[in-house]
A and B are shown apart, each in its own frame.
Chain A
């Protein structure tokens, strides 16, 4: 044990490699894809070839087997340039590969992980329903045992990667009367009969990621694709979200970093009252706040990521997610303010970030849910 804020050489190299990929390959079409709501399937394949879609999967299942901190570095660097690809990648890694690798049988892992980890298929996570957001235990989707299969019926909403994903992790009730303890988790092939994807949502931001409803009608899933035990799905969902919060915190840190860079560059170029506006104390103070909150968000993220292996990350991940997402929202707001009128023009990148950053305090557990998680840890309830 030690207090050591240094990165390994591998982590430094990984950051450099991904930064290069993000700046050279992803950056050029970012604005255009946002305007066209175009999903960059080709770039996701390239990310897959680089090993970025199976970072938490062991090599024997086709993954690259990185530690959680390296994974956060990757999500941060991708999100710094394109938060849409950042979330696509985070969802496939964190809420699809991760629970399969953690809770799946050997057979399930061998069948599903290699395609996901290589990027041949993307993953999605079907938890939320129209009537159950934060209160996930109130879901209505059912899974009825029938011979060697389970039969799924119900409808999920806000499913990132729906329509582009080949594999879903799906939560459904095997015992509708048992509340949270009646929920079970399944791995479902998106091409199964009975799976239907709705039309993509029109969103405020993250327009180059796909979000849609997914419905299951008499959808047969082999019993072997149950993750963990029957009735153990809610715990799997919570454990998955504990982990995935790191990915969203890393996405927020990436956006925050970009906002700082854009604000500094603009403040140094823009001349008012005869000097670059960066010479004015008011602007300097805004920049100092953006930079200081970024350092705080990073420290919380690093601490949570470095603690994940020891299983101590529950409260830390909730703190990192809540703080990083809220700080990123403040940072982007201030960075746009520094841009003045130009900031609301889509000619400037900050306008897109302003839309992209908003959801980070909402998905994978709202800020309010993070605070309840933190309070529960504090109060020992």
Chain B
């Protein structure tokens, strides 16, 4: 048992922190207001290896471990949660399943440009009537010669407005339920493919969330990821890793809010003292630090488990549940410490407070995490 970042991880943290401060932070407030997708510095992040942190170098990635990945997502999210989720989706929901399920040929063609950040990926699972109940999806895939023909639509697709490559889940036969679901790698400039409008949201405004539409979209059979009918397993195992990324994002958002609150509490004077002198404020700060540390440790533990144990389903669900709920409490207290100023867009905590909300919803709601955890502990006993 030892829980300290190693030299490589510490160097990565310093590098990402510098990139976040110099490139990401200066535009965070602006892209939150405008919803503009930061595609330019996405490519820059790619040059630093942040688009495919855990992908081996031969396939365009940085070849680092899962803890490094969490460190990177936390550092980016600490200044801009939109940028955090953009990278998390590309890493966890696109590169990771390609790494685990793609053929070498598919890896060379699709994974390498994604992992290098030359291209951007998205993960197309959710539909209007299939959210938590992903197996109820209705997008169909029909075999036709050397192709599959896809029809249907997806919603809430992060990166969807700007992505080049989509990992699409479709069913060969809805009657087969989850056993009919199959995964496809789709080039998003294919005929029959279209995107909806940019979804205007409460938070993570610049993450390019949109709908995707497939109208007799032809996908070559060689772009099927894994076997027919095995897509549900691909999606679920991918979400285990994705949850760790979102948990790291939640830790980053909370860390950004916590640091802002700590600074503000030392500067703001009321009743003749910096408000940090008051026990009530000290207790808020102590609670925030304590919960943040606990959440970060659960993230690291899940990351460690993903690489060192057979399954990380329980650890990932616990990290995601705890970190996302923690982020609500911490951003809320950070805003409270800022008083009226925290409610204005002149201070970053207002953005952190809005950005935190989604972490309890996407890549498996808190309710789904609890069901996953309960299932795991009830079976284990």
A303–B3 CB distance below 8 A: yes
Inter-chain contacts of B6 with A (CB < 8 A): 1-3
Most buried by B among A3, A297, A302: A3
Query: Shortest beta-carbon distance, B381 to chain A, in Å?
Result: 5
Q: Taking CB as reference atom, which chain B residue is nearest A373? A: B286
User: Judging by beta carbons under 8 Å apart, are B322 and A292 in contact?
Assistant: yes
State the majority secondary structure of interface residues on A: helix
Report whether A378 and B301 are in contact in the complex, using a CB–CB cutoff of 8 Å: no
Give how many B residues have a beta carbon under 8 Å from the other chain's beta carbons. 46
Decide if B1 touches A6 in the complex (CB within 8 Å).
yes
Interface residue stretch chosen among B73-81, B334-342, B369-377: B369-377
Taking CB atoms and an 8 Å cut-off, the chain A residues in 288-317 that contact chain B are 288-289, 291-293, 295-297, 299-300, 302-303, 305-307, 315-316
- Cβ of A135 to closest chain B Cβ, rounded Å: 14
Minimal beta-carbon separation of B267 from chain A (angstroms)? 12
Would you call A287 an interface residue if the criterion is a C-beta within 8 Å of the partner chain's C-beta atoms? yes
A264 interface residue per 8 A CB criterion: yes
Name which of B28-36, B90-98, B200-208, B290-298 contacts chain A.
B290-298
B304-A4 in contact (CB<8A) = yes
Residues of B within 8 A of A296 (CB): 294-295, 297-298, 318, 322
B2: CB under 8 A from chain A? Answer: yes
> A291 contacts B318, CB within 8 Å?
yes
Q: A379 and B282 in contact (CB under 8 A), knowing A4-B3, A296-B322, A303-B3? A: yes
Q: Which residue of A lies closest to B281 (CB)?
A: A375
Does B276 belong to the interface (CB within 8 Å)?
Answer: yes
Dominant secondary structure of chain B at its interface with chain A: helix
Q: Which of A267, A287, A296, A322 has the most CB of B within 10 A?
A: A296
In contact, A284 and B308 (Cβ under 8 angstroms): no
| B294 touching A375, Cβ below 8 Å | no
Question: Contacts A5-B304, A284-B378, A375-B282 given: A303-B370 contact, CB under 8 Å?
Answer: no
- Interface residues in A1-34 by Cβ distance below 8 A to B read 1-8, 11
CA distance A6 to B318 in the complex (A): 18
Give chain B nearest CB distance to A15 CB in angstroms. Answer: 12
In Å, the complex CA distance between A1 and B1 comes to 10
Interface centre among A300, A303, A368 (most CB of B within 10 A): A303
Please determine whether B308 and A316 come into contact, CB atoms closer than 8 angstroms. Answer: no
In contact, B282 and A288 (Cβ under 8 angstroms): no
CA distance A268 to B374 in the complex (A): 12
Residues of A with Cβ closer than 8 Å to B?
1-8, 11, 69, 260-261, 264-265, 267-268, 278, 281, 284-285, 287-289, 291-293, 295-297, 299-300, 302-303, 305-307, 315-316, 319, 322-323, 368, 370-372, 374-375, 378-379
A sample of 20 more A-B contacts (CB under 8 A), given A7-B1, A288-B371, is A3-B5, A5-B3, A6-B1, A264-B378, A265-B381, A284-B374, A284-B378, A288-B374, A291-B318, A291-B377, A300-B297, A306-B1, A306-B2, A306-B3, A315-B289, A374-B285, A378-B285, A379-B266, A379-B276, A379-B285
